A and B are shown apart, each in its own frame.
Chain A
Amino acid sequence: MLVVGAGPGGLAAAAAAARHGARVGVVDMQPHAGGQVWRHDVAHAASREARRAVAEVSPRIVRHLGSQVIEARGDALLVEHAQGASEMRFDKLVLATGARELLLPFPGWTLPGVAGAGGLQALAKQGAPMAGRRVVLAGSGPLLLASAATLIRHGARIVGVFEQAPAGRVMAFARSLWRWPARALQASQLRLQLTGVPFRYGHVVTAAEGTQRLQSIEVRDAKGVSHHLGCDVAGVGYGLVPNTELAARLGCALDPWGAHTRVRVDALQRTSHAHIFAVGEACGIGGLNAARLEGAIAAHAALGHDREAVRLWAARDHARAFAARLADTFALDPRVLRLAQPQTIVCRCEDVPLSALAPFNDSRDAKLVTRCGMGACQGRICGTALAELGLFGRPDPRPPLFPARLASLACGDSLP
């Protein structure tokens, strides 16, 4: 069994598969295992469950970290690592490719100092200095709070957290947490960590300001009044989007997920290909618990232990229900889709402004003429934003699935 992604979902799948006696390979492009939610923090120990999962070593599991999948067909993946590339064959495949942050363009968003909200958390954990920095977090979703908590632990001074969802909706969500006691506990723990942090609902960061780098942000309140706030660093993210490119390349059926896609799976996490499974965020943003449960379900099902998989259904469904509530609560106000001005850069890799895209209603046309989406990110940032803005869809992925050395592309000849 090959598992793509060493986050909670992938690690759960690998562990369960190894316990059934399978030979397992786990591939992840990060240098450490743990994915995003269990990201290795240079300054702080991980939670017990994270440590256990990440540290779990089995002679049956081989981890290929710092490795990215650049082409995929049939029964093999072409994986590039630091020294070269290799074809990895599999009988069963588990896609635990996770999610990335939805980054929406707004004036000044390309200034050094402006990152994603999850992005800022990731950067802090990987050792970027935050001590004493004035930090703003904005956008939407529980990730803002989780990121704020991490940043505080790293010594940052949070000068504001701006959630675009209205207070009423978030309060209603908080009241519904009694259904998920672990979550309620987590929320109150988070609350404690964030005491003293200015938290505003119905607020949107409308611009990042500064000459060479970020110096302040402009934030509009629920009444439409603008304020300016000095800061050193801003983490602005509007939620998470499933990473479905690998699944799409493999021909797995996808379902809509808002303006984006998620991998279609049945109750046993099976995709439209019988030997390929998908778990966690790739199947729709579901959170940590859903990912762990689905990883186990997929491994059980893939290796013929359906009964063990079925036993986890109730817990999985409960976790997914929580995620559904989350999605409703943090749905995006149309305001945030109109932040970009004509001169705002939309394609960061190629410096294409929004105005350049105006004459086109076809993404391929827009791409050919403006080069929007032709850069290194392969449309992951701009294409996702444009889909959320309702302007263009994402094209079918082609190899290389990530930018890769030409020498690596010359290695895949047993992939048809």
Chain B
Amino acid sequence: MKYVRLDVDGQTVEVPEGASVAAAVATLDRCTRRSVLGGWRAPVCGMGMCFECRVCVDGVTHMRSCLKLAREGMQVITGG
């Protein structure tokens, strides 16, 4: 199995090729976004409908991480 390495909140993580950015975040046991009232959220539907998995990828915010393939060298920031 091939792996890709990417950066989540400054931490390096390795996931299998074909895995999603959401999986990378989960691998580090981190949450994806903060709700309007400040609570942490993590992915719920896994398929791009709930929008709880939104993170910042390579400078672009509000990306649904369950729909985004993890790529080598990606910079992901959670908590937006």
Contact = CB atoms under 8 A, between A and B. Distances in A.
B39 interface: yes
A289 interface: no
Given A31-B68, A350-B36, A127 B42 contact: no
A377 interface: yes
Interface in B1-58: 1, 15-20, 22-24, 26-27, 31, 35-37, 39-52, 54
Looking at B40, B41, B50, the one whose CB has the most chain A CB atoms below 10 A away is B50
Given A110-B39, A128-B22, A351-B35, A115 B46 contact: yes
B67 A29 contact: yes
Contacts of A121: 46
B76 interface: no
B22 A116 contact: no
B53 to A, nearest CB: 9
Contacts of B54: 376
- Chain A contact-residue range equals 35 or more
A166 to B, nearest CB: 27
B37 A123 contact: no
Interface in A28-62: 29-32, 36, 40, 42-43
A128 B50 contact: no
B23 A348 contact: no
B66 interface: yes
Contacts of B46: 115-116, 118-123, 126
A32 B26 CA distance: 20
A128 B24 CA distance: 7
Contacts of A32: 18
A40 B19 CA distance: 9
Contacts of B48: 29-30
B62 to A, nearest CB: 7
A112 B49 contact: no
| A interface secondary structure, majority | loop
B40 A112 contact: yes
A43 B18 CA distance: 10
A367 B65 CA distance: 27
Interface in A252-309: none
A381 B15 contact: no
B69 interface: yes
B24 to A, nearest CB: 8
A36 B49 CA distance: 13
A186 B67 CA distance: 29
Contacts of B44: 103, 114-116, 119, 348, 381
Contacts of A40: 18
Given A112-B31, A348-B41, A351-B36, A119 B47 contact: yes
A348 B41 CA distance: 9
B51 A103 contact: no
B16 A127 contact: yes
Contact of A113 (B37, B42, B47): B42
A155 interface: no
Contact of B66 (A42, A122, A349): A122
Interface string A127-138: 111000000000
A343 B41 CA distance: 17
A241 B50 CA distance: 14
12 contacts: A32-B18, A42-B15, A42-B16, A115-B46, A122-B66, A126-B23, A127-B24, A129-B26, A213-B42, A376-B62, A403-B51, A403-B62
Given A43-B16, A376-B54, A381-B44, 17 more contacts: A29-B48, A31-B20, A40-B18, A66-B67, A110-B39, A115-B43, A119-B45, A123-B22, A126-B22, A126-B66, A127-B24, A128-B26, A129-B27, A348-B50, A381-B45, A381-B49, A403-B51
